[in-house]
Structure formats: structure tokens, C-alpha cells
Structure 1
Amino acid sequence: SGSSTNLVLAINLARLYGTTNYTKYRYRIRFCWWAAEEIGLVGAIHHVQQAQNSSTLSENKLSNYLINLNYDMLGSPNYFFGIYNGSSAKPGTPLQALNGSIRISEVFRDWFNLQNLPWDYTDFSGRNADETKSVEQRDRYESKLGEGHGGLAGAKVDPCYHLDCDTIKNIDKFGYFKMSQAAAYMLEYLGRKNDLVNYLYPNGRSSQIQLSDDYFPNSDYFRES
């Protein structure tokens, strides 16, 4: 569902750019779909390594990237509106990066509050589909969305995760639609910033950009020598 949201955003932004009454963003937007995630983030790591090794004149060089917005598992059948908690970044994350991560978390939080929607912070574990919805979550979501719309307490967020039943029928349309709206809002919000660099990095950017060992898969097969 995150991949389809990415595609929807890309198609609609291209359509808007093709009109005469829509002002283009000050920044380039790159939409990415990573391959071979489940065997060790292979596609994502390859992309970052290529960007690290790009020439200084290349638009693909890593220093040209200001922010990465990761949309994954947006329409799980027992969904919750999850926001990555910028304060839960792994130890060793450059301090300069934390401010921007926290600000992005706050923008999402404020959007859900304005929409009178429930939300939950989630850490950067990448295992949200394995989470189980609590009674407290179910009751809180029902209080906002109405009786019967809080999901199933004690059940996994996505019981079909990595199974054959994980098809287009395994999506909650309401949850998916609202998460896609939030993603579109964030794109527009950031795209209209006059000075996105200082907004995200008021204390400057880290000059040491590298992947720590725990971002690599265990097998040395996927490492570059």
C-alpha cells in the first residue's frame, strides 16, 4: 500500500506540474521503490552507496538529499495511524539530523490532530506490521472514528504480512486513504518551504554521512569490498 501511495503522489504531482496554475516546488522530488528489502535492504543500501560514490557534479550525490519520507504498510486491515517518532532514531545518528526528524513527526501529528483523527508514535524498528493493537488503541480509535471502527484488540495490525493472502483485498480503504492524504500534505508542506535546509538543519548538516554496520544485512554477500 505504501508503494501505491508513492505512485499516486508521483502521478498527481506530474499532472499538477503540467498545468499553468500550479507553482512548482523549489526542490526536486525523487520517488523511489526499493527492491529486495526482505533479504537485507539490498535495494535501498545500493541506492545510498551509489549516491555516496557519485561525482561532485552529479545531482544524485548523497549531499543533495535533504530528507527521506518512508511510506510503508499504510493500508493494513487492522491499521493504526502511525507516525515515525523522530526522537527514537538509533544511537549514533548525527545530532544534526534529529531536529529535522522531530519536526517531520510534529507536522504529521498536527495534521492528524487537525483532521480529528487518532494517531500513534512508532519507533524506527521497521516491524510495525507485526505489532498487535491494544485495547487502549481500539477504544481510543473508536472514540474518534465511531463504534466498530477501532479495529480488533489483541489482533495483529496485518495478519497477512508476508503471506499469500497479502493482496489488494487485504487493505482497509479508509485507513489507506487518510494515510495517503497525510503523505500528500507533507509533500506540499515541505515543497513550499522557502528554506528547507535551515528548517530541517538549523545547526548545520553532518559532514560524516555513512551507513553504520547495523544497517547492513548479516551476510557479507551484500557488502561492498
Structure 2
Amino acid sequence: MTPLSRRGAAAVAALAVAGLLGTAATTSAATGAPATAPAKSARTAQATALAAPDIPVANVKAHLSQLQSIATANGGNRAHGRAGYKASIDYVKAKLDAAGYTTSLQTFTSSGATGYNLIADWPGGDPSQVLMAGSHLDSVTSGPGINDNGSGSAGVLETALAVSRAQFKPDKHLRFAWWGAEELGLVGSRHYVNNLPAAERTKVKGYLNFDMIGSPNPGYFVYDDDPTIEKTFKDYFAGLGVSTEIETEGDGRSDHAPFKNVGIPVGGLFSGADYTKTSAQAQKWGGTAGQAFDRCYHSSCDTTANINDTALDRNGDAIAHAIWTLSGGGGTPPTGDVYENTADVQIPDNGAAVTSTVNVSGRTGNAPSTLKVGVVIKHPYRGDLVIDLIAPDGSAYRLKNSGSDSGDDVNTTYTVNASSEAANGSWKLKVQDVGPQDVGYIDSWKLTF
């Protein structure tokens, strides 16, 4: 974060016009029992599998520990032009390369030193409809910059890795970025935007910025310029029972500003810097009134000890929520009636198969040739899992084989040609764990006709 703090601006009405927002899902109520009636209001619903996954805060903190180690080994900082910054870029790039991203380093010069931006593109999605998310990776010279802005950088990185784990297939093309020399005046992000050809600029339909999301005495601030992106974030926090405020600590002081200046819609989150938390804010959010949101802002004490885990966790999940929502989610959202079972079913380790049932009734004829099967399974090693859809007549449709997939969780919508099956009846999701050591459960699944 630059010394004057920042505020996000999100021209998200333009995002809505550009079609960035995915259709929100409306489903039948979760009762813990098999669903027996279609959710008639869900004709524009996405499957549960298209919801954003939980971003493990432990993973985000592991990235912060790596950034701390890099700073410690390189003079106590990760500043532009210093060895610690280049090592930070190399760390993030290696993670993304291993996850299947197409990465590129963009170089620039500032204050007589070479700077680096890292750009990572997730394969697929409409290349003329690009959704970007980014954060600055550099620190000031006086400290390791773990909250400012290791926190935002780690949150964006773990969200990008979650995209890979889920093999997410959004409508929009996803691009993630880590900026250099923000602390010198938004140098890296400005270089990127200024060198983006006009034809490429028009393809960028939104940029989301995350700069300081783990402040030790945190607030929950949302960039405010457009009601749609603002609502995306506010709705997420409202679901947690967390109030938000509009970010007013500064304006245009982070990497969203160059995008906003050329007419690209922007938005983001912020947990506070050197402004003082009021009594009303402390009553609302907890923490200490009369104290800065981050007393270690731009100081040597901005270490891994300078992070509020709850704020980091909530904001990390909010990043994923926005990416999944604004990118259009997993291809064209299925339309039609939704039949869902949200009851958890434990999957025994290396044991017998288990099933979860969805009862379909009141339909005529056969199931469609493009039956959508949304599956959400929580499991630390999804390569152990074999998943089948069992039709009412007992016919099995293989959705997933086991294999050497070391990712966690299944969060996918499958398409099945079920046109030979009667629509009405008891459909089952059958899941078997065929490997040792890891235990998980069926979180939810649904059929969309």
C-alpha cells in the first residue's frame, strides 16, 4: 500500500452491462433429507458445484510464512529493486506454473532498478471478456510487508490455486496479477495498463484489487464506486453476519487506480492501515478503539505476527466468492428445475461406496441429453474418489475415475446424456474412496433438468 492508503473504486454497473456477473443460484431449502420437489424458482440457477470453494486460511498463512522467510533472508524486506522482491516473484510464479497457469514476467525500470510484474492466465474462458484480480507484491524497504501486502498477494495466489484445484471453467477468461513497485507510486500496475494496447484494454471487463486484507485490528471495507461489485462483496459478508463500511481511508492509492483511469471497472477489499478504529467500529467488529487498524503499517514489525487470522480468512473467501461470481461460473449456467440434496454423507476411507439420493417427481418423459450433475465433495485428496450417477433404473454413469490427482475437494458440474432414462424416480450419487489415509464427505449435489 502506498503511504496515503487507498480506496477502491468499482465501476460495477459497467460490469453488469459487460455481463461479468454470474447468475445467482436460488435453490430449494436444505432439509437434510432427499429433495422431493423441483425448485421452480431456480430456472436460472447455477449448480451448487459452481459456488466458490472455501479458501483454507492455513494455505494463505503458509504463503505468508514463505514471504517472511524470503524477507528475512534478504535484508528484512521485499522491496522493489531488492533481492527479496525478485525471490517473492519467483516463489509465486513457481506455484502458478505448477498449477497449470500460463505465466509471464513483465519488466520495467523505476528508480534505476528493474521491476517485475507477474501475469498469470488461466486457460479457457472468453478471451474478449477478461476478469482480472491482483495485488502488489512489493514491500517498503523498512519491513517485510506481510500485511502490506503479503496478505493480498497470498489471498489472490491461493484463490488462483483454488481455480486450478477445482479445474474451474468460467465463462470469462481469468487473469491474475502481482504488481511491482506499488510502494513507489503504482509504478508496476501503471506500466501494465499504459502498455496494454487499446484493443486489449477493451477486453478487460473488470479488475479487482486486494491490498491489506489481514490487518491486526481489522475493519471490513469495500470499495464503493459501483453498486454491483459492491453488492457482490457486501452480500458475501452479510451472509457471515459481518457488517461492512465503504473504504474512505484514501482514494486511488493502490493498483486499481490505473485501471479506473482508463475506464476499466474496478473493485476490491481493504482491512485498514494507519487510520484509527473508532469506538463504533470496535463495537461492530471487535478489536481496539483508538488504535490504528495496522500499527505496524510500513514498519519493521509488519511480520507474520502482524496478521489477524479471522480477517485473513474472511477476506480470502470473499476473493474467491467474487472471482466465481463475476466470472460467470463454470460455463453457461444450466437452466431448468433444480433437485438438490444438501445432507452431508461421510465417505469411509478406502471402504465401501456410499450414496446420496435425490428424488425427482412431477415430470413427464425422459431426462435430458444434457442433464447437469453438480457435485460438491470435501476431501483432502480427490484422486482417491470414484463418482457415479445412478439412474432410477440402476444404470450407472461414470462421472469421475480415481487417479493421481493430488488436489483437494471436488467442486464440479458434470453433463450426462440421460435421455434414455425416465426423469422421475430416485437418482443417486455414488461415491467410493479407493485409497488409504484421507477421509471426506459428500457436501451436496444436485440435478438440473
Same fold (TM over 0.5): yes
Any stretches of 5+ residues in structure 1 without a counterpart?
87-100, 142-149, 196-225
Shift of 1:64: 0.8
Which is strand-richer, 1 or 2? 2
CA-to-partner distance for each residue in 1:100-148, whole Å, 9 max, x for gaps? x32101111111112111211113524841221100011122xxxxxxx
Q: Does 2:194 correspond to 1:44?
A: no
Q: SS of 2:202's equivalent?
A: helix
2 CA distance for matches of 1:121 and 1:176?
18
The residue type equivalent to 1:104 in the other structure is I
The residue type equivalent to 2:180 in the other structure is A
Q: How high is the TM-score relative to the length of structure 2? A: 0.35
1 CA distance for matches of 2:173 and 2:154?
20
Post-superposition, which runs of at least 4 consecutive aligned residues in structure 1 deviate over 6 A? none
1 CA distance for matches of 2:245 and 2:310?
17
Shift of 1:163: 0.8
| Most deviating of 112-121 and 74-83 | 112-121
The residue type equivalent to 2:293 in the other structure is V
Shift of 1:16: 1.3
**Structure of higher CA gyration radius:** 2
Out of 28, 33, 46, the position equivalent to 2:178 is 33
Out of 274, 279, 286, the position equivalent to 1:130 is 274
RMSD: 1.9
Out of 197, 210, 214, the position equivalent to 1:75 is 214
1 CA distance for matches of 2:155 and 2:325?
17
CA-to-partner distance for each residue in 1:22-51, whole Å, 9 max, x for gaps? 5x0011111111111111110010000111
Shift of 1:173: 0.4
1 CA distance for matches of 2:177 and 2:291?
31
2 CA distance for matches of 1:107 and 1:12?
19
Q: How high is the TM-score relative to the length of structure 1? A: 0.68
Count how many residue pairs are aligned between Structure 1 and Structure 2. Answer: 162
Q: SS of 1:66's equivalent?
A: strand
CA-to-partner distance for each residue in 1:188-216, whole Å, 9 max, x for gaps? 11122689xxxxxxxxxxxxxxxxxxxxx
Q: Does 2:152 correspond to 1:2?
A: yes
1 CA distance for matches of 2:215 and 2:284?
18
Q: Which residue of 2 aligns with 1:15?
A: 165
Q: SS of 1:130's equivalent?
A: coil
2 CA distance for matches of 1:12 and 1:167?
25
Q: SS of 2:206's equivalent?
A: coil
